[in-house]
Chains A and B, each alone.
Chain A
Amino acid sequence: MTGYLLRRLPSALLVLVLASFAIFAILRLIPGDPATTLAGSDPSPDTIAAIRADLGLDRPFLAQYFSWIGDLLSGDPGRSYLIGGQITDLIGDRFGNTLALAIGALVLMLVLGPILGVLCATARGRVPRALLGAVNSVSLTVPVFVTGVLLVLLFAVTWRLLPPGGHQSIVADPVIGLQYLVLPALCLALPGSAVIARYIKDGVLQALGEDYVRTARSLGVSRRRILWRHALPNALPPVLTVLGMQVGALLGGAVVVEALFAWPGLGQLAEQGVARRDYPVVQALLLLLVGVYVLVQLLTDIAYALLDPRVRLG
């Protein structure tokens, strides 16, 4: 296992370092100088120079990059130019909200995916099969902002069961908080659920044809027990990889879902940062999101290596 980690860690770190450099370099290409924006209308060249010196913008590019990385490693991403305040505060408030959304979506994926998958694998008759297949294809391909609007039209406008958007803290009042969480989390979870369902369906169908299932059946084990206790658990490991891959889609989807449901999370902050060209905020956020993504990929690979010796020894 140590050998596997020693092989896998450097490449994850390399991607992170290259990504941090790319983010830093790309944001320096932005036309216009933040010092000019900050100096207000009609500033003197001295004021601009003073602000540039204050922000460190007059230093060489690589020096700026390394001091940024140094600050980040010591836990200080700096101050926002335009939105105002420490970046740690800006991110801290919203990180919890996005995390709640992501966890809600993951839980729903893990519930809906297997159910849909098992239904698809066991459905009898042409019509139910076609219907389930259609549900699966639609949730897989239709973009989240389309399903999101449809969910709001159904659950909030037509049936008036859930609020159409906004956010309440789950910690303060779990019942109200959950009501606000359900629709955005469901909307974010649908594509991932469909992917998981496909894997589960294939895995269950394959497992049902195996010898141990025939043995179990010949011993008189009920169909239902075979399905849930024998076939389903054997279809689960690939789901782990799928979950890892879905985290990227989840982070991207969160930006859209947060905009649609007025959910005050990281996606909204990123959108504001980009719109106002507040680049300390944008670069810190981008690196955070890419870091989370790379970390999750790494954890997925490690979990897979733990489950499957062929991976860690290969």
Chain B
Amino acid sequence: MTAAVVTKAPVVAAPAKRARNPYVQGLLTPRGITGLIVVGLVVLLGLAAPLLTSYAPTFQTSNALLQPSGEHPLGTDEIGRDLWSRVLFGIRTDLIVVVSAVPLGALAGCLLALVSVASRWADVLVQRLFDVVLAFPGLILGLTVTAVLGAGTSTVIVVIAVVEAPAFGRMLRGAILSHREREYALAARVGGAGPARLLVRHILPNAADPLVVQIAVSLSIAVIVEGAMSFIGIGVRPPEPSLGSIVSGSVMHLQDHPIYAIGPLVAISAFVLGLNLLAEALNKGVRR
């Protein structure tokens, strides 16, 4: 008797709870769960890097270009560094870059959106600013910023933030403008809410939905931009490992030592595909 009551209770409670949170609903689909597992695995490998290898990523052994073995699961690179360790610490570098760059870009974009909905003149200025940033294809913008700041991890973070900001800015601006005209906003205004209260308490919580999806999309773009910049040699500085720079190192040895490229390629692909699955799942959840 008691058992039946206990099992019944959550069945009744669950749908109401799930309906309230569209993100959870989106993530609990096959696509969302696959994305969570893949991204979770990659992130875990990066976080646990020091525990999973006994070699430092910059430590040079005396054996260059070794085949995979128990000692070196992915072999070694052209100057004898353990590739398993370099891939793990490369993931870590990527995580640091994208986790600091994307929120920075999102924050900048959202602040500019707030400025732009506040006044007509500011709106014209901010929109032209976004136009100019968007007129540069991502990597070309990367080259420009690197010309000024010099190559390095902090430059990559700045580039990603600048590339991502217009997407967040445009999205939030559009959402605020459309929500401002809805009836609930009118009702709040009639009820005596000032512009600041209306924005913060009523409009922003409703306008923020698409931003969550954009964060997942932006994270995957950030991984790609970091990889591309490090790949062409204007990103994370050697000998610090990053996934892009390891792939770049492997290119000279594709003929004689193809196994060199496999580790970083699998890591990047898994990371990017996983993030995209998450973005698609969240998008479905929000739209439902």
Contact = CB atoms under 8 A, between A and B. Distances in A.
B258 A142 contact: no
A274 B147 CA distance: 5
B44 interface: no
Interface string A134-174: 00011001111110011011001100000010000000000
A27 B140 contact: no
Interface stretch (A12-20, A35-43, A102-110): A12-20
A145 B144 contact: no
Given A149-B261, A260-B251, A142 B273 contact: yes
Contacts of A308: none
B147 A164 contact: no
Contacts of A290: 135-136, 140
A291 B272 CA distance: 31
Given A256-B232, A260-B251, A274-B146, A153 B135 contact: no
B135 A146 contact: no
A253 B227 CA distance: 12
Contact of A18 (B132, B140, B147, B250): B132
Interface in B233-280: 233-234, 244, 247-248, 250-251, 254-255, 258, 261, 265, 268-269, 272-273, 276
A289 interface: yes
A270 B144 CA distance: 9
B192 interface: no
Given A19-B132, A22-B132, A255-B139, A157 B258 contact: yes
A146 B247 contact: yes
A157 B255 contact: yes
Given A18-B128, A30-B148, A145-B231, A164 B135 contact: no
Contact of B140 (A152, A156, A252): A252
Contacts of B136: 19, 286, 289-290, 293
A256 B139 contact: yes
A127 interface: no
Interface residues of B, number: 39
A150 B251 CA distance: 10
Residue of B147, B148, B227, B228 contacting most chain A CB atoms (<10 Å): B147
B220 interface: yes
A248 interface: yes
B136 to A, nearest CB: 6
A187 to B, nearest CB: 13
B138 interface: yes
Given A259-B232, A274-B143, A143 B272 contact: yes
A153 B258 contact: yes
Contacts of A23: 144
B27 interface: no
A61 to B, nearest CB: 15
Contacts of A30: 147-148
Interface string A24-49: 00110111000000000000000000
A153 B259 CA distance: 10
Nearest to A258: B232
A205 B139 CA distance: 35
Nearest to A134: B273
B224 interface: yes
Contact of B254 (A22, A164, A294): A164
Contacts of B147: 26-27, 30, 273-274, 277, 279, 282
Contacts of B269: 138, 142, 146
Given A26-B148, A141-B272, A293-B136, 20 more contacts: A15-B135, A27-B144, A30-B147, A142-B268, A142-B272, A145-B244, A146-B247, A152-B251, A157-B254, A157-B255, A157-B258, A164-B254, A249-B137, A251-B137, A255-B228, A255-B232, A271-B234, A275-B234, A277-B147, A290-B136
22 contacts: A14-B128, A15-B131, A27-B144, A137-B276, A141-B220, A141-B272, A142-B272, A143-B227, A145-B228, A145-B231, A149-B261, A164-B255, A255-B139, A256-B232, A271-B233, A274-B143, A275-B234, A279-B147, A282-B147, A286-B144, A290-B136, A290-B140
